[in-house]
Amino acid sequence: MSVTGTLKTTSAGFQWSAWLKSNSIPLFILAFLIAFPFIVGQMTGSSPYGEVRGERFIMRGASVRWQSVLIEIFILGILTMSYNLLFGFTGVISFGHALFFGSAGYILGLSLEYVAIDTSLGLALGVTLGILFCGLMGLLVGAATLRLKGVYFAIFTLAVAEMFYIFASRWQLTRAEDGFAISALPAWIDPAQSRLNFYYIALVLFALTFLFIKRLVHSPTGAVLKAIRENEDRAQTLGFDTLRYKLFAIVASAMLAGVAGLLQVILNKKVGPELLSIDYTVNPLLMTIIGGIGTLWGPIVGSSSLFMLDIFLRDSQFTVGGITVNMANIWGLLLGSIFIAAVMVFPRGIVGTSQQLWLRLRAKGAESPPKLHGAPPDQ
Amino acid sequence: MRSSRNSWLTVVVLFAALIVLALLSANSLGSFGITILSGLFQGMLLFLVASGLSIVFGLMDVLNLAQGAYFMIGAYVAYDIQHAGGLIDVTAAIPDPNIRFVFAVIGAILVGAGLGMLLERGLLRPLYSRPIFQLVLTFGFSLVLIEIVKAVWSTTPYSWTEMFGIREGFFELFGQRFSTYRLFVVGAGFALIIVIGLLLQRTRTGIIIRAGVEDREMVQALGINIKMIFTLVFTLGCAVAALGGAIAAPFLGASITLGNAFLLQAVAVVVLGGMGSYGGTAVASILVGLAISVAQDVAIGTNFAALSSITPMLLLVLVLLLRPSGLFGSSR
């Protein structure tokens, strides 16, 4: 340990540039995302803070609109990354991820609604309780059912999530089907008053989630998680208490999904049973698979590409031979075809398959295929 | 042997509890009868979706998320054939609505089987080595099917208007009027349970299918073309789902949301019965159907509306906590 420590300090400059080089793509993306509101603002001539109306800012203009698009991508990204932690790295399929996403959102909404003394207090309480509740639910569901094999666990989580969904859509406290709008938020986070602040908050959480998962995957714990994915019996035989590792994975994943749920509620300023609906389980599942299961970048690529596709294509229309086709009408058809095509063309997801191709190309160029043949799909 | 006795014991206890609950909440023998009959009716509809799901999952490890969409297609096709002014207008050729209904059901089965074969042959076949991707594929296919239905029949839900003999009929028991059609569906469901059961137990193909559920590679090693069997089973599963949609349509009508409403519950039923166990699926369907109907009764009494929709999931959670591989699943 001490040797590597001195090496690091003596050649700090070299390490720094190597680190920059090996992380150039994520750093570039991060820099771009930080500058994004201002770039769009420059390009379209709109202020990233919104339009000034007397004392206040009105959230209007291209830059502000684009910020909310990106915020939604960050939220979906966090949710999908949390799903991938469980599904891609640990090999546990959960059909109840919406449970964590939605219940955190509901808790935040309820605490903002009922802690009327001070909105900051309500926010702090909601965020803390929401995340704690997600962790606790993850622990309970996991402890009760992780002994169940594959599909049984998946369906058990589905059943629990559905029960929450039905309760939330029937219960008087949660205002049943309609849900309720959040009337007051502290001004510094309220997306209707200062979208840019909220944009950076979401960006920071998004980046932190990515770093956390990256760090985790390359840690000894991450290695055990991957071992469980590959062969749980063998991991157990090697002396690892696999149940404990799986519990850790589900709790971490649940809390991250809770963070996404909190952000979603703050962005929309509305709580409703749709937060708990199966859509928020199916979407991250599909986005993970299409992006690349068990890859670091897969969930981000999957969620952002599908969401962008949604934004760009859904409202567009085009004319073929005198017939105007409105994309919104055939959206389901298009989405279904994309799913089918993605599964056929990218057998390991977009990221997984392109990595494979890249490795194969490089192997051909370097003429050393045996070394790279068994390259792991992670990274 | 011991485990199977435990399974049956659990089932008997659950049934007894449900019947006692139904008796307690019913205020007359007639309303008790209605509860039981509507429970059996719902159970049979569930079985028609779940049976295909169960056999396909047992044999091929494919969780077919499009199964609900086949149910929906069946309902639409049956509606279309039965009513005038649809895609296929046979009201002039076959004026008798009873006979037309028979044709409507047959038409639905054929369309379901055709689409099922298309999905298996064309899309699913390259994916057998990648089971998780089949989820995405079948889900995508169900979206496409829903879109096709929207394009052909528009998004407005249809309610069944063209009546026929047994749909209108009633019979009296304990001073209460019962719909003959419900009884017909229950009877048809039981008949189907027995027919498919016999098919699996007694025929050569059935024996191959059951052997495939146990050990797919061994069956292949014995020189049997398992891919043919896969296609057959998948087609059959989709056809049964479409049949379910067709005979449910006179009661539930035809709508876009029909399929997914049943799919979740059907998945729950399959798991409740135990993966790969056909008998388990049949028993679990009836159990869940009865539970829903009893819970509806209790819910009216106690003013707790969420109870009836929550019941299937609650039952599933309880059973899985007690028996981790479902009622009749082997603990592999």
Of the listed ranges A102-116, A216-230, A299-313, B168-182, the least confidently predicted one is B168-182
Of the listed ranges A284-288, A342-346, B142-146, B311-315, the least confidently predicted one is A342-346
Taking CA–CA distances from A292, the nearest residue in chain B reads: B133
Taking CA–CA distances from B320, the nearest residue in chain A reads: A156
Q: What residues of B are in contact with residue A160 (Cβ under 8 Å)?
A: 313, 317
- Rounded CA-CA distance A48/A42 in Å is 9
CA distance, residue B257 to nearest chain A CA (Å): 14
Taking CA–CA distances from A338, the nearest residue in chain B reads: B140
Q: Given an 8 Å threshold on Cβ–Cβ distance, is B139 in contact with A337?
A: no
CA distance, residue B223 to nearest chain A CA (Å): 29
Q: Is A203 on the interface with B (CB under 8 A)?
A: no
Is-contact A61 A46, C-beta < 8 A? yes
Ramachandran bin of B323, using left for φ above 0, alpha for ψ from -120 to 50, beta for the remaining angles: beta
Q: What is the pLDDT of residues B18-73, one digit of tens each?
A: 888 777 777 777 778 788 888 888 899 889 888 888 888 877 777 888 888 999 99
Taking CA–CA distances from B330, the nearest residue in chain A reads: A149
CA distance, residue A144 to nearest chain B CA (Å): 7
What pLDDT shows up at residue B166? 65
Q: Give the list of residues 6+ apart from residue B33 with CB closer than 8 angstroms, or none.
A: B173, B174, B176, B178
Mean pLDDT of A33-47: 80
- Rounded CA-CA distance B232/B270 in Å is 20
Secondary structure of chain B in HEC code, one letter for each residue: CHHHHHHHHHHHHHHHHHHHHHHHHCCCHHHHHHHHHHHHHHHHHHHHHHHHHHHHHHHHCCCCCCHHHHHHHHHHHHHHHHCCCCCCCCCCCCCCHHHHHHHHHHHHHHHHHHHHHHHHHHHHHHHCCCHHHHHHHHHHHHHHHHHHHHHHHCCCCECCCCCCHHHHCEEEECCEEEEHHHHHHHHHHHHHHHHHHHHHHHCHHHHHHHHHHHCHHHHHHCCCCHHHHHHHHHHHHHHHHHHHHHHHHHHHCECCCHHHHHHHHHHHHHHHHCCCCHHHHHHHHHHHHHHHHHHHHHHHHHCCCHHHHHHHHHHHHHHHHHCCCCCCCCCC
Q: Given an 8 Å threshold on Cβ–Cβ distance, is A156 in contact with B317?
A: yes
Residue A309 parent element (H or E): helix A298-314
Number of domains in chain A: 1
Is position A340 within any domain?
no
Beta bridge partners of A53: A56
Mean pLDDT of B255-261: 79
Burial of B65 (0-12, 13-18, 19+ CB in 10 A): buried
What pLDDT shows up at residue A188? 78
| CATH number for A171 | 1.10.3470
ipTM over the 0.90 cut-off: no
pLDDT band at residue A248 using 50, 70 and 90 as cut-offs: very high
The shortest CB-CB distance from B317 to any of A160, A170, A347 is to A160
- Domain residue limits at A207: 24-284
Kindly report the pTM of this predicted structure.
0.80
Extents of the domains making up chain B: 2-322
**How does the average pLDDT of chain B come out, rounded?**
81
Residue for token pair 């052909």:
B152
The shortest CB-CB distance from B275 to any of A151, A167, A282 is to A151
Largest pairwise CA distance in chain A:
74
Which two three-digit tokens encode residue B238? 């989709």
Mean pLDDT of A2-17: 55
Indicate the residue type of A174: T
- Rounded CA-CA distance B241/A71 in Å is 41
- Rounded CA-CA distance A1/A48 in Å is 48
Residue for token pair 């149940």:
A243
- Rounded CA-CA distance A161/A176 in Å is 16
Is position A81 within any domain?
yes
Whether the per-residue pLDDT at B154 is higher than 90: the answer is no
Q: Is A227 on the interface with B (CB under 8 A)?
A: no
Whether the per-residue pLDDT at A301 is higher than 50: the answer is yes
Residue for token pair 């771009």:
A32
Q: Is B139 on the interface with A (CB under 8 A)?
A: yes
Q: Coil, strand, or helix at residue A269? A: coil
The shortest CB-CB distance from B264 to any of A156, A162, A167 is to A162
Q: What is the pLDDT of residues B227-251, one digit of tens each?
A: 888 888 889 889 998 998 888 888 8
Indicate the residue type of B68: G
Q: What is the pLDDT of residues A72-88, one digit of tens each?
A: 999 999 999 999 999 88
Beta bridge partners of A320: A323
The shortest CB-CB distance from B147 to any of A155, A158, A332 is to A332
**How does the average pLDDT of chain A come out, rounded?**
81
Q: What is the pLDDT of residues B288-331, one digit of tens each?
A: 998 888 888 777 766 666 667 788 888 888 888 887 777 777 65
What pLDDT shows up at residue B301? 65
What pLDDT shows up at residue B110? 93
Angle at A302 between CA A298 and CA A305, to 5 degrees: 135
Q: What residues of B are in contact with residue A285 (Cβ under 8 Å)?
A: 135-136
Is position A352 within any domain?
no
Largest pairwise CA distance in chain B:
61
Which two three-digit tokens encode residue A211? 């770093």
What pLDDT shows up at residue B96? 76
- Give the CATH number of domain B2-322; options: 1.10.3470, 2.20.28, 2.50.20, 1.10.10: 1.10.3470
Of the listed ranges A215-229, A359-373, B168-182, B317-331, the least confidently predicted one is A359-373
